[in-house]
Structure 1
Amino acid sequence: MLPFIADMPPLEQERVVCSISAAVKYEVPANIVLAVAEKEGGRPGQRVRNSNGTHDVGPMQFNTAYLGDLEKYGITADDVAASGCYSFDLAAWRLRGHILHDSGDIWTRAANYHSRTPKYNAIYRTDLMQKAVKWADWLDEHFSTVNVTAQGGATPGDGTAMQQVIQEAARIEADSSIEQSGRQGQGSYSPSQQSGYVPRTITFSAGAGQ
């Protein structure tokens, strides 16, 4: 594992590795995924009850009301509560939809992950921007990056660090699959088999400016 990730606590290692890998898969700005992951701050298996009777579930704190809309894809609260990169992939997929299809600037769209209500969106947006700036600086220090809001080339880097992150994400996902395979009803689950939610294939080559 890369030393600047290996020095992190285990929970943060998974959060960072899975967030970056998910951002690459779904072509979402990595600093936004990292900022959302930090802001949500959930843990595997965590369920937080809200005043309206819903729960926020797992590392990316998916609300059970939102998960109800995903049941048609075979996605359950148990899936997003589990450890591993699945919940981060699903969050990046959701963020991609907000960024591509919602109105407002990119930060308002990303903050729709939390709420479309203007008052709550604005509060989330302000903190999200601050966290995203911090993560952008961190990414620039360790990876070859591109500022998607400005014209210009990538920051220096040969792509080796990103390749190692993707390999580590694959290991985390493999470990998570082994852990979950013992659960009743979880062993045969594969979101890629569900119509409408198809994980993107990672295409990566060192030096490609990822």
Structure 2
Amino acid sequence: MPAIDIPPQKQEQVVCAITAAEKFDIPANIVLAVAEKEGGKPGQWVRNTNGTYDVGPMQFNTSYLNQLAKYGITPEDVASAGCYPYDLAAWRLAVHIKDDKGDLWTKVANYHSRTPYYNGIYKADLMVRANKWADWLDVVLKGGTLEVHQARKTEPAPAQSQQNILTAQYQRPMQMQTATTYIPRKIMVSAD
């Protein structure tokens, strides 16, 4: 397996983003780009002008929390350290990719805003970041397969039924419009 050439403080972010992308069958470079673009930290709450908050490492917007509350998912889950916030963000991205209208990049940028002006700004930056991450994955993969081993931690995890509810909705392959800037990659995830 090739060495991952990233700063130690970013390694968890990369592992969590790639693992979440695999769980929800979405491009890893997109989740990596959103994680980098959002740049949040565990426990962080950022107030938006519309009264909502962006929470945690993936700056998950509180407007989606009502939808998740019925599964027992709390704001603390979204704000927590570890990989679960990345899973929630990847789930949200998968919903946008599956259900929203427009090209792939517009759908992904809906994670930030559906307002065309703000969506366009976010989309342009996200495409640059996603290309950078796709290039990085190409170098790391060197035509092979990157194995991501999730470190076992003693972090609290949401109830298994909550995870199953989210993942069960997206077990089937999604039909996505692909952009010319993305080359699909296979990533193997194993828990060691």
TM-score by length of 2: 0.81
Q: Are 1:94 and 1:113, in contact at CA under 8 Å, matched by a contact in 2?
A: yes
Q: What letter is aligned with 1:139?
A: L
Tell me how far apart the structure 1 counterparts of residues 167 and 8 of structure 2 sit (CA, whole Å): 31
Q: Cα RMSD between the aligned structures?
A: 2.4
Q: 2:130 matched to which residue of 1?
A: 132
- The count of corresponding residues between Structure 1 and Structure 2 is 173
Q: 1:198 matched to which residue of 2?
A: 167
Identity over the aligned pairs, expressed in percent? 58
From the superposition, tell whether residues 48 and 193 of structure 1 become closer, same or farther in structure 2 (CA, over 3 Å).
closer
Q: 2:177 matched to which residue of 1?
A: none
Q: What are the ranges of 5 or more consecutive residues in structure 1 without an aligned counterpart?
A: 145-155, 181-186, 202-207
Cα offset, 1:2, TM superposition? 6.3
Cα offset, 1:194, TM superposition? 6.6
TM-score by length of 1: 0.74
CA offsets, 1:94-135, max 9 Å, x none?
111111221111100100111111111111101000101101
Cα offset, 1:91, TM superposition? 1.0
From the superposition, tell whether residues 32 and 193 of structure 1 become closer, same or farther in structure 2 (CA, over 3 Å).
closer
Point out the structure with the larger helix share.
Answer: 1
Whether 1:42 and 2:11 are equivalent positions in the alignment is: no
Q: 1:52 matched to which residue of 2?
A: 50
Which of the two has higher C-alpha Rg? Answer: 1
Find 1:27's aligned residue among 18, 25, 35: 25
Point out the structure with the larger strand share.
Answer: 2
Tell me how far apart the structure 2 counterparts of residues 195 and 133 of structure 1 sit (CA, whole Å): 31
Q: What are the ranges of 5 or more consecutive residues in structure 2 without an aligned counterpart?
A: 172-184, 188-192
From the superposition, tell whether residues 194 and 131 of structure 1 become closer, same or farther in structure 2 (CA, over 3 Å).
closer
Q: What letter is aligned with 1:8?
A: P
Cα offset, 1:140, TM superposition? 0.5
Q: What letter is aligned with 1:108?
A: T
From the superposition, tell whether residues 2 and 43 of structure 1 become closer, same or farther in structure 2 (CA, over 3 Å).
farther
Q: 1:183 matched to which residue of 2?
A: none
The 5 Å alignment of 1:162-181 reads 162-163=146-147, 165=148, 167=149, 169=150, 171=151, 174-175=152-153, 178-180=154-156
- Asked which structure has the greater RCO (Cα within 8 Å, sep 6+), the reply is 2
